[in-house]
Structure 1
Amino acid sequence: MTFLKALTYVVLGLVSLHIAYAVAHYVVNNASFEPVYAENFEGSDFSKNSRVTMEVCCDHSMELTAPEGETGTAVKFRLQSDDSLIKNSKRSEYRLPAGHFGEEVWYRLRTYLPESWEDTEAAITVFQWHGVPDKLLFEGNRPPPTRLLFKDGDWYIPLGWDTRLLSNPWFELFGERRGTILWSAPAPRGAWEDWVFRITWATDDTGRMTVWRNGEKIADHDGPNTYRDLSAPYLKLGVYVPSWKTQPPDDVAVREMYFDDVWEVYPNKADTLPDDVKALIEAYRAKEASSG
């Protein structure tokens, strides 16, 4: 066998492996279309749902329970700074499959920070929509298009998007990467907060994102709102502190918080909706109509 022929086989093998990896990455991050996901954590083990992927390390990472003094059941996530790495970072989360472009989708999440939750400089992401990089184009992970994060006592909702075909710093043609802070405000302790996001994922002017907090509209964005990928972003929630991977904290080394009523709903594609989901969406649509 000549050197050139051997080199050709090696190159073809590497290309085939890369294509197989890219296809596998796409398949793993996607699932068959389901117009309604609505979890209230009452009377079921949500982690057994085929649409849920757990990203936890330990028995203490996740528990079905309620905050002290509260009734009902929620999911509590706990992250300790000495937990082992999950997906190459410090996290205790669960995630859903990738979403869909060009369709109106409603997300709801309720969050509860305990009274004992302390302020620190480390940024803590409590829910996010994570992009699905196009591995076929050698894209790596990027900051999530949007998320709710806690830092120095405040909530922040940053939004980023990239209209380029290839999200790499050295590829500056055919689009741009931009971002903004949609909203920020102090984060209360010892109380449930209700978050509703109405989103149409897109990398052009058809993109839409409206955010309500406890029934009050706090953000409205028209235009690009994600990366130009084959798949739309997927929802993750829990406790994620990436800085703990390289900088262990010298103060607060444990984080716990609660979630309830996690929804991902495509109302225009659903034949029927659960009564509580239908009532909430109708109420918010009525608010929008009455405000003009």
Structure 2
Amino acid sequence: MSTKDFRNSTTPQRKRLSWQNKRLLKFALGVVLPIILLSTIVGARIPTDTANTDIASTKSPKIIAKRFERDLSGWGQELCCKHSAQIASHPTRAGGEAVKITLKKSDPYFKNSRPRAELKLRPVPANSEHWYGLSLFIPKEYTLEPKSFEIITQFISPPDKDLGEKWHRPSLTLSMRKKGFTLTNYWDSRQITKGKQFEGRQQWNLGAVEKGKWIDFVYHAKWSYKSDGLLEAWKGGKLILRRKGANTFNDKRGPSFKMGIYKPDWKSRPERSITTQRIIYFDEVRIGDASASYKDVAP
């Protein structure tokens, strides 16, 4: 940036500044110098480590990024044991580390619930729009069961307990079994949903479970229990579904994102399962607000 020459360009001799000119020069320095300094600070590259921070970008769109470098800070944890969720250096989708989720049939139940090892984020506002991206890795030795299943991603709408409502079905789940991935959507416009009773359900078969490689998923949801809802999903970069209409429950808060392993059969129907341990890896989790796009959250 060039500096202004305050010398008189028409007269080679330097003149003494009058008291008016002195005041003008003092004012100019008081205004211009702070602007120059501020421009220097704003333009500087400040080293930051955003791998484990909640907000990876303070500009629009707002993006929450979770790469699992070093620890699990920022996540709610429904874990029984030290082995339930661990930082792993291999395999990774990007960066140096991913999170390894392990669920054993012999594990004690988290808060006397059901067999689960899950990480979760806070619920989003009701009737809000969000983008979600993540990548998961199924080891080659993973046994896919013909009669049993496990849920590996959930969007759980918290019940309105002040109205007497109890926990109900998740708004959206991604599960897998031998026949492949299944995405299931539930919704209900009634203020109180009673247990397993709900107004609507739709299910999609997303194809075979590919083991030994990272599989990318992206979800876009305008959460609503009315006809203005929207649900889109991509697998491996390909749009696999687009549905307009109701897609969640009539609750005061929107769905909470959860990922990990939830295997209810180990408690309610153990005879259906032929396995005693499940291990899955997750990486590159990003969540964007309504101003985000596919490219902002895609792994």
The one-letter code sitting in structure 2 at the alignment partner of 1:198 is: H
Residues 1:119 and 2:141 aligned together: no
CA distance in 2 between partners of 1:56 and 1:155 (Å): 24
1:136 counterpart residue number: 162
Q: CA deviation at 1:136?
A: 1.8
Which of 249, 266, 273 aligns to 1:227? It is: 249
Residues 1:53 and 2:79 aligned together: no
Q: CA deviation at 1:99?
A: 1.0
1:75 counterpart residue number: 99
1:105 counterpart residue number: 130
The one-letter code sitting in structure 2 at the alignment partner of 1:102 is: N
- Check 1:145–1:190 CA distance in 2 against 1; reply closer, same or farther (3 A cut): same
2:45 counterpart residue number: none
Say whether the 8 Å CA contact 1:109–1:263 is kept in structure 2.
yes
The one-letter code sitting in structure 1 at the alignment partner of 2:63 is: V
Which of 187, 192, 216 aligns to 1:161? It is: 187
Residues 1:63 and 2:106 aligned together: no
CA distance in 1 between partners of 2:297 and 2:182 (Å): 27
Which of 215, 223, 227 aligns to 1:193? It is: 215
Q: What pairs up with 1:233-252 in 2 under 5 angstroms?
A: 233-248=255-270, 251-252=274-275
1:263 counterpart residue number: 286
Q: CA deviation at 1:168?
A: 1.8
Q: What pairs up with 1:179-218 in 2 under 5 angstroms?
A: 179-218=201-240
Say whether the 8 Å CA contact 1:113–1:188 is kept in structure 2.
yes
Higher CA-based Rg: 2
Say whether the 8 Å CA contact 2:134–2:282 is kept in structure 1.
yes
CA distance in 2 between partners of 1:58 and 1:170 (Å): 30
CA distance in 2 between partners of 1:228 and 1:127 (Å): 21
Q: Which has the higher helix share?
A: 1
| Long gaps (5+) in structure 2 | 1-57
Q: Which moved more, 1:104-113 or 1:94-103?
A: 94-103
CA distance in 1 between partners of 2:63 and 2:93 (Å): 27
Which of 95, 110, 135 aligns to 1:86? It is: 110
Q: CA deviation at 1:167?
A: 0.5
Tell me the percent identity: 26
TM norm structure 1: 0.74
- Check 1:54–1:130 CA distance in 2 against 1; reply closer, same or farther (3 A cut): same
The one-letter code sitting in structure 2 at the alignment partner of 1:218 is: I
Q: CA deviation at 1:40?
A: 1.1
| Long gaps (5+) in structure 1 | 1-33, 269-276, 285-292
Q: CA deviation at 1:54?
A: 0.6
Which of 169, 177, 189 aligns to 2:199? It is: 177
Q: Secondary structure at the match of 1:57?
A: coil
The one-letter code sitting in structure 2 at the alignment partner of 1:48 is: S
Q: Secondary structure at the match of 2:140?
A: coil
The one-letter code sitting in structure 2 at the alignment partner of 1:108 is: G
- Check 1:75–1:177 CA distance in 2 against 1; reply closer, same or farther (3 A cut): same
CA distance in 2 between partners of 1:100 and 1:132 (Å): 11
Q: CA deviation at 1:179?
A: 0.5
